[in-house]
Structure 1
Amino acid sequence: MPPREPREHIGYLIWQLSQAYAIRIEQAMRPLRLTQAQFSALMHLSTYGAMSSAELARRCGVTPQSMGTAVQGLTERGLVERRAHPTHGRIIEISATPQGEELAVRAEQAIAPAEEEALSPFGAQERARVRADLQRMLATLNPHTLPSGD
């Protein structure tokens, strides 16, 4: 029996979709001088508030090393700041500065056309279903990226 066509494998489809979407996000972030990891970090910090670098890495789905590099770049630009945790002195929390929160809003606006393009084949109810299905898959494969009850 011959192997199935690549398009019949969910992994192949997800990978191809991810690659195509990542190119669009990278292009949208370039004028803002943000990497995808930095964009994700700003979005999480602006939405959920201060957190450790390790927690931020888990939520963004990147390695701690990659997050360290992303945070360093954001810190140098004054978009995030690091402070000792109020009750756990050994933990350093990262939070978005007002400039970082402003840039997060601009970045979200910058990616809106890419999201619209990706969802253009679907009607309103289908779009909600696509989001829900993708969130369910992600919650199964990497539950840390979708915090619950924050």
Structure 2
Amino acid sequence: MNDDVTAWDDQLTHVLWRAQNAAHRRVQDSLDELNVTTTQLGLAVHLGQLGPLSAADLSRMFHIAPQSVATALNRLEKLGWVRRRTHPIHGRVVLFELTDSGQADVARGRELMATANAEVTSVLADSETVMLIELLRRITIGVDGPDLPAVSAWPVKG
């Protein structure tokens, strides 16, 4: 095999890309029953954890393009997972909140993700999984910086 190809295939960025694609396929296959993407489920999970947020809040928190967040939230709204409401103080701000149906679907999504996670990590020892997670977090922070606080830019109380 050509040394240039081997060098390319052995670089962290290439191996990480291949692993991400494999894990993404496995996760997406598991979410097919809910008819949502990983991004859509992730946004719904965080709305459930953090309460109502704007699309801009979610975009900033997770380093996702505003257009992608808007598309994901529109899909979740059509599925009945989220609803829009006007911010009680800042009338121009639209907040998204999880519906009761969305909460039930998020619970199922969490179960599906746990199963997919167990399958993806089954080839690693528990200590290797913990180490890999820590190393990937360090890479993420090194590239994107530390996570932003998970709070709305438009708090309800001053």
Whole-Å Cα distance in 2 between the matches of residues 143 and 93 of structure 1?
26
Name the amino acid aligned to 2:126.
A
Q: Which of 13, 36, 41 is matched with 2:15 structurally?
A: 13
Which runs of no fewer than 5 residues in structure 2 stay unpaired? 152-158
CA distances 1:5-52 after superposition (whole Å, capped 9, x unpaired)? 224312111111111111111111111111222112112111222211
Give the aligned partner of residue 67 of structure 1: 69
Give the aligned partner of residue 131 of structure 2: 129
RMSD: 2.1
Whole-Å Cα distance in 1 between the matches of residues 122 and 9 of structure 2?
20
Q: Is the 8 A contact 2:61 2:150 kept in 1?
A: no
Q: Is the 8 A contact 1:40 1:60 kept in 2?
A: no
Which runs of no fewer than 5 residues in structure 1 stay unpaired? none
For the pair 1:118 / 2:133, whether they are aligned, the reply is no
Give the CA deviation at 1:115: 1.0
Q: Is the 8 A contact 1:81 1:95 kept in 2?
A: yes
TM-score computed with the length of structure 1 as normaliser: 0.84
Whole-Å Cα distance in 2 between the matches of residues 19 and 122 of structure 1?
18
Equivalenced residues, count: 148
Name the amino acid aligned to 2:137.
Q
CA distances 1:88-145 after superposition (whole Å, capped 9, x unpaired)? 222111111121121111111112232112212322233222222222222232347x
Instruction: Among all aligned residue pairs of Structure 1 and Structure 2, give the percentage whose two residues are the same amino acid.
Output: 26
For the pair 1:54 / 2:56, whether they are aligned, the reply is yes
Whole-Å Cα distance in 1 between the matches of residues 132 and 121 of structure 2?
9
Change (3 A) 1:16 1:22: same
Q: Which of 76, 79, 87 is matched with 1:77 structurally?
A: 79
Give the aligned partner of residue 97 of structure 1: 99
Change (3 A) 1:141 1:50: farther
Q: Give the 4+ runs in structure 1 shifted more than 6 A.
A: none
